[in-house]
């Protein structure tokens, strides 16, 4: 989901994974615990996203692809 800055209230447990352009990219703590061993690729596909994500009216949807990566020692 991609929201306007400030739209989504972050919680203390949300994890900042990185930034895309000038936008921070967060993940819920529980999900991060399960995804932390993956490299994430933020892709865009044609479609009609659900939810309140801002890209839906453009006829596209963000999609995360991922590869396994080695866990840091």
Partner 1 sequence: MRYPHPNTAGSKLAYESRYDNFIGGEFVKPVKGQYFANISPVTGQPFTEVARSTAEDVERALDAAHSAKTAWGATPPAVRAQMLNKIADIMEANLELLALSESWDNGKPIRETLAADLPLAIDHFRYFAGCLRAEEGGMAELDANTVAYHIKEPLGVVAQIIPWNFPLPMAAWKLAPALAAGNCVVLKPAEQTPVSILLLAKLIGNVLPPGVLNVVNGFGIEAGKPLAQSPRVAKVAFTGETTTGRLIMQYASENLIPVTLELGGKSPNVFFADVLDHDDDFRQKALEGFAMFMLNQGEVCTCPSRALIDKRIYGAFLELAIARTRQVMPGDPFDTDTKLGAQASNDQLEKILSYFDIGKKEGAKVRTGGERVKLGGALAGGYYVAPTIFEGHNKMRVFQEEIFGLVVSVTSFDGFDDGMAIANDSLYGLGAGVWTRQMHTAYRAGRAIQAGRVWTNCYHLYPAHAAFGGYKQSGIGRENHKMMLAHYQQTKNLLVSYDPKPMGFF
Q: What is the largest CA-CA distance in the chain?
A: 43
Determine which residue in the list 5, 9, 21, 73 makes contact with partner 1, applying CB under 8 A.
9
**48 contributes a contact to partner 1 by CB under 8 A:** yes
**42 contributes a contact to partner 1 by CB under 8 A:** no
Pairing of strands 60-68, 15-20: unpaired
Distance CA 47, CA 59 (A): 5
Binding residues for partner 1 (CB under 8 A)? 1, 3, 7-9, 28, 30-31, 34-35, 38, 45-54, 56-57, 61, 63-68
């Amino acid at each position: 989901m991609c929201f306007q800055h400030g739209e989504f209230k972050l919680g203390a447990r949300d994890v900042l994974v990185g930034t895309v352009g000038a936008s921070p990219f967060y993940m819920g703590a529980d999900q991060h615990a399960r995804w932390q061993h993956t490299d994430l690729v933020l892709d865009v596909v044609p479609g009609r996203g659900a939810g309140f994500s801002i890209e839906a009216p453009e006829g596209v949807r963000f999609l995360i692809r991922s590869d396994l990566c080695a866990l840091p020692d």
